[in-house]
Amino acid sequence: MEKSKKLMDKLFARGRDFLGVEYPILGGAMSWISEAKLVSAISNAGGFGVLAGGNMPIDLFKEEIKKTSELTDKPFGVNLITIAPNFRKQLDHALEIGFPYIIFAGGLPPRDAINKVKQTSSKVMCFAPTVGLAKTLIKMGVDALIIEGHEAGGHIGPVSTSVLAEQILPHTKEVPVFVAGGIGSGLLMIHYLMMGASGVQLGTRFVISEESIAHNNFKNAIIKASSKDAVPCAQFDPRVPVIPVRSIVNEGARDFTTLQLGLLAQIERGDMNTREASEKLESFWIGGLKKAVIDGDIENGSLMAGQSVGLATKVMPVTEIIEELINRGIEETDRILDLVDVCDD
């Protein structure tokens, strides 16, 4: 047990220093869900909560940062979607107040936005869904990467987390790398740390935390679902690119298919251009997620969830989720150390 704790400390050291937390476990930002209560609960439990900027109007964004800061004196981050309408206003405010950790989501972030953060003492973290993008982002000067695989909930990249981990972790020394997508327990957490990760990010498991404001209908849908139920949406025509979204299949997911086919028909007739069509598809998800998370409409709303949904089986307080991740991690390091002992005999 003593040895396991030592090993865990070693594995956590870089992420712990970078984030200034006890456990380098990020509660991934989730639009509508990652607000003051959940974010502060994750940070107060020793993890790193991340506030979702999403489509928040600037006044609400300012208010949420203030509220979260009142609920925790521990570090937390803000996640800004670079293609969201209020992105620039949110970024300017975060820099104005010297917010320490800014995470850019939503494709390759604009170079000037990264440079703007780099001119301050704030740290900038970005998502790398491919090995090429990871290299580009490091060259652009980001302070840390989050590699997020295809298994994750919400908008997803093309490559699975395990393959990204193999491609990126052993070769990336310049910046800390956090791994997201498909992590449901401390078992996988430990193995990504042993491969060189500085920490992990989880989303789906925190959706069903006690502190999450997600509607009970949404939480129950997650508890009931198995991993095979969380599937990515399809793209039918490259003229209207679709960033795949992983969600539990329901009427809402089927509506997305209908909407996409309808928009393609309008493009064929010349009644709509492709940019307008893409915008309509993106706003479908934002509205759909709110419908499910806030209104509890789990038939027509969007039930974004990762494949780790199969490991999200009951509502628990955030402290217990984090405790469970750590305890499972210690159990696994114990097992590994026993194996090493056997080899030494």
Ligand X SMILES: Cc1cc2nc3c(=O)[nH]c(=O)nc-3n(C[C@H](O)[C@H](O)[C@H](O)COP(=O)(O)O)c2cc1C
Kindly list the residues in this chain that would bind ligand X in the complex (CB under 6 A).
28-31, 33, 52, 54, 79, 105, 148, 151-154, 180-183, 201-204, 207, 304-306, 308
User: What does the alpha-carbon distance between residue 37 and residue 305 come to, in Å, rounded to a whole number?
Assistant: 20
Pairing of strands 245-248, 154-155: antiparallel
Residue nearest to ligand X (CB): 203
Dihedral sign (CA 131, 167, 104, 118): negative
- If the CB atoms of residues 237 and 320 are measured against ligand X, the closer one turns out to be 320
- If the CB atoms of residues 46 and 181 are measured against ligand X, the closer one turns out to be 181
- If the CB atoms of residues 138 and 222 are measured against ligand X, the closer one turns out to be 222
To ligand X, the closest distance from the beta carbon of 292 in angstroms equals 8
Determine contact, residues 207/218, Cβ cutoff 8 Å: yes
Q: Distance from first CA to last CA of the chain, Å, rounded?
A: 19
Contacts of 44 (CB under 8 A, 6+ apart): 71, 72, 74, 318, 319
- If the CB atoms of residues 8 and 222 are measured against ligand X, the closer one turns out to be 222
- If the CB atoms of residues 28 and 46 are measured against ligand X, the closer one turns out to be 28
User: What does the alpha-carbon distance between residue 340 and residue 345 come to, in Å, rounded to a whole number?
Assistant: 9
To ligand X, the closest distance from the beta carbon of 271 in angstroms equals 31
Identify the helix (H) or strand (E) that includes residue 143. none
User: What does the alpha-carbon distance between residue 340 and residue 187 come to, in Å, rounded to a whole number?
Assistant: 18
To ligand X, the closest distance from the beta carbon of 56 in angstroms equals 10
To ligand X, the closest distance from the beta carbon of 205 in angstroms equals 6
Both structure tokens of 69: 């800061």
Both structure tokens of 82: 């670079």
- If the CB atoms of residues 94 and 152 are measured against ligand X, the closer one turns out to be 152
To ligand X, the closest distance from the beta carbon of 183 in angstroms equals 6
To ligand X, the closest distance from the beta carbon of 121 in angstroms equals 23
**In this structure, what DSSP letter does residue 251 have?**
H
